[in-house]
C-alpha cells in the first residue's frame, strides 16, 4: 500500500495506475465493460480529494470529453492494437506502433487535463474513501458486482496510507 495524495489530477492518475494490479484491472474494465480509464481515475481523484459537485454538473463535465475520447482516443487505440495483432512486426511497424501509443497516451492526458480544468473551483468537503462516484460509474457501465467489488478493493488498497 502507498499514500497517494490527491494532488494534481495527472500525477495522481499516473501514480494510481502504476500501483500493483490497477493497470490490469483498469484494462479489463475498459475492454469488457467500456469503462473509460481517464474517467475512472478522475472519479477516484474526486472522491479522495473530497471535491463536491452536483450529479448533473458532473454528468455535463463527463459529456464534454466524451466526443474527444470517441473520436481521438478510441481510433488511436484501435490502430495500435491492430498493428500489434499483425505480429511479427518489422522495425518500422514497431516504431509506428510506438508513435501511435505515445499519441494515445497524449490524447488521454489531454482528456484528464480537461477534466481537471473543468473541476477547478469545485468546493472541497471531506474525502469519500468508499469511492461512491466510482461505484456509481461502474454500476452504470453494468460491471458485475463481483468485478465491481474487486475493483473497489484494489483501488482502496492502492489509495490507503502505507
Distance CA 62, CA 122 (A): 15
Helix 37-49 × helix 91-118 angle, to 10°: 40
To which H or E segment does residue 118 belong?
Answer: helix 91-118
Q: pLDDT per residue over 74-105, tens digit each?
A: 999 999 999 999 989 899 999 999 999 999 99
Instruction: Give the Å distances, CA to CA, from 143 to 131, 140, 146, 152.
Output: 15, 8, 8, 12
Of residues 155, 125, 123, the one with CA closest to residue 137? 155
Instruction: Give the per-residue pLDDT at 87.
Output: 83
- pLDDT at residue 1 in the model: 35
Say yes or no to pLDDT of 136 above 90: yes
Confidence of residue 45 (pLDDT cuts 50, 70, 90): very high
Q: Are 48 and 6 a contacting pair, CB within 8 Å?
A: yes
Per DSSP, the three-state class of 81 is helix
Amino acid at each position: 500500500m502507498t499514500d497517494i495524495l490527491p494532488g494534481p489530477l495527472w500525477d495522481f492518475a499516473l501514480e494510481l495506475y502504476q500501483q500493483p494490479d490497477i493497470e490490469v484491472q483498469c484494462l479489463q474494465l475498459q475492454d469488457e465493460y467500456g469503462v473509460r480509464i481517464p474517467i475512472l481515475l478522475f472519479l477516484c481523484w474526486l472522491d479522495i480529494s473530497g471535491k463536491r459537485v452536483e450529479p448533473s454538473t458532473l454528468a455535463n463535465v463527463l459529456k464534454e470529453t466524451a466526443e474527444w475520447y470517441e473520436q481521438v482516443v478510441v481510433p488511436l487505440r484501435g490502430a495500435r492494437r491492430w498493428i500489434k495483432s499483425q505480429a511479427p512486426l518489422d522495425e518500422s511497424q514497431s516504431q509506428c506502433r510506438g508513435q501511435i501509443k505515445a499519441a494515445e497516451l497524449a490524447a488521454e492526458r489531454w482528456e484528464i487535463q480537461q477534466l481537471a480544468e473543468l473541476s477547478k473551483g469545485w468546493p472541497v468537503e471531506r474525502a469519500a474513501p468508499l469511492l461512491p462516484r466510482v461505484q456509481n460509474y461502474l454500476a452504470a457501465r453494468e460491471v458485475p458486482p463481483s468485478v465491481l467489488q474487486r475493483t473497489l478493493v484494489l483501488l482502496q488498497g492502492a489509495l490507503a496510507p502505507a
